[in-house]
Amino acid sequence: MLIKIRRPWELKESSVTPEPHFRQRRKLLQAAAAAGVGAAMPAIARVAPPKQGRRLSNVRDSEWGRELEPTDFDDITSYNNFLELGAGKRAPARNADKLRTRPWSIRVNGACEKPGQIDIEDILRKIPQEERIYRFRCVEAWGMIVPWDGFSLGTLLKRFEPTSKARYVAFETLYDPEHLPGQRRNILDWPYREGLRMDEAMHPLTMLVTGVYGMELPAQNGAPLRLIVPWKYGFKSIKSIVGIYFVEKEPATTWAALQPEEYGFYANVNPEVDHPRWSQKYERRIGEGLFARKHKTLKFNGYAEEVAHLYKGMDLRKFY
């Protein structure tokens, strides 16, 4: 008899909280805050709300982060880091229509038995129903509580049968300067590249994201497929992925290559290791107002119980 043991971040479908309830509560909180501080509210709260995409099917909630109030959809999709669509935080939303997300395919090759190319629609169809889409919240880059929708990266990687030489997984984003205005500027060595160690990539919390708030992922958030590694800083979460490669040696990654003294390969959230130009002991969350208290940064972003074993014996000040 097979007995399924639920993982800590899984939740029964009967426990799913409808998105409208999240949003209505958030709107009430924002209205109350606006009455008190008025013009002192962050500018992002006044950005025109973005268009919502089609609703995803088979979204199941997870237990992780249920006690956290999710950031409003409008803020999540109006305040972004996506340099391909522009350097300002609001530029990606303004330029979202420049990113063409269909047709879209991802090439997978390197140290694997079954290299090939797979279409985004095929990815969604071929993920087993029981693993296909789940939801959990995590603190993103500059302090957002985001209900991402997606599936474990390892579910996809296994289908290409990586060999014993596959010690790392490298990722590459779309390169299309004709349509992506940010890539016409020499601010990065395009295309954007990222990488994970194989055990990190295969961890069930490492996620390929296809949506947010139960809706199709907007272009400004990295459509149609992006990475989320919830215990790492946001720059590891590469967007608009077109290439996945199994490699033997640690791959070069965009920010670590550009500014190695500031951005390491591992990028684990760690309040004990400051960025050279600022402390990382605290975070401020978008949407809470200018005068809201800061939150203490949790090691591994609060996922220590699930992932700390991956780094046993490592000096995390050296391997930052």
What's the pLDDT at 130? 53
Give me the pLDDT at residue 22, please: 42
Q: How confident is the model at residue 134 (pLDDT cuts 50, 70, 90)?
A: low
- Check residues 137 and 285 and name the one with the higher pLDDT: 285
Q: Does domain 17-311 have CATH number 3.90.420.10?
A: yes
pLDDT (tens digit per residue) in 142-155? 588 898 888 899 99
pLDDT digits over 25-68, tens only?
444 434 333 333 333 334 444 445 566 778 877 777 777 667 77
pLDDT of residue 128: 57
The pLDDT value recorded for residue 123 is 83
Farthest CA pair distance, the chain: 61
Burial-class residue 75 by CB neighbours within 10 Å (0-12, 13-18, 19+).
Answer: buried
- The predicted pLDDT at position 138 comes to 57
User: How large is the average pLDDT for residues 263-281?
Assistant: 94
**Confidence at 7, pLDDT banded by 50, 70, 90:** low
- DSSP readout, 54-102? PBPSS-EEBSTTTTSPPPPHHHHTTS---GGG-SSSSHHHHTGGG---S
Q: How confident is the model at residue 290, as a pLDDT?
A: 77
* pLDDT at site 56: 79
pLDDT of 203: 96
Per-residue confidence (pLDDT) for residue 235, from 0 to 100:
94
Q: What's the pLDDT tens digit per position in 85-117?
A: 999 999 999 999 999 999 999 999 999 999 999
Average pLDDT over residues 279-302: 88
Would you state the pLDDT for residue 131? 56
Residues of the chain above pLDDT 90, percent = 62
Q: What is the mean pLDDT of residues 153-164?
A: 96
